[in-house]
Amino acid sequence: MLRWLERLLNPSAQQPTGPADAPSRHQRIASIHGRDKVRLRGVISSLVVRPAHATPAVEVELFDGTGVITVFWLGREKITGIAPGVRLEVSGFAAVRGGLPVMYNPRYSILGADDEELET
């Protein structure tokens, strides 16, 4: 009741009314400047799997519209569901290596293909 009255008396003090108005829990890739704990969402723009004779690793570039971060999963030869065009959420520590943002062995959630409409 009080929120309704406050909005009526002070329309400029609008509170978030739904998910679209709520603050995002995800950082933008462009905002990464050092060793930061982050949660990012984006689309996989490329995938590289290191050859069998090298240390196994899956490497993807994740694009969120503001920048690209290279994500590595060391010791993995493949990850089912990880492919170019897949929407992904990753969380963990990001760092800057050679001036570019990177993440190693983050937690991840596959959100679907880039062309799918998902409610998240």
Domain spans in the chain, listed from the N-terminal domain onward: 25-113
**How far, in Å, CA of 11 to CA of 54, rounded?**
61
pLDDT-derived band at 4, boundaries 50, 70, 90 = very low
User: What pLDDT score does 10 carry?
Assistant: 52
pLDDT digits (tens, 9 = 90+) for 88-103: 999 999 999 999 999 9
**How far, in Å, CA of 64 to CA of 45, rounded?**
10
One-letter amino acid at 30 equals A
Count CB-CB contacts under 10 A for residue 28.
15
Q: What is the model's pTM? A: 0.73
Write down the CATH number for the domain with range 25-113. 2.40.50.140
**How far, in Å, CA of 21 to CA of 110, rounded?**
24
pLDDT digits (tens, 9 = 90+) for 49-71: 887 788 899 999 999 999 999 99
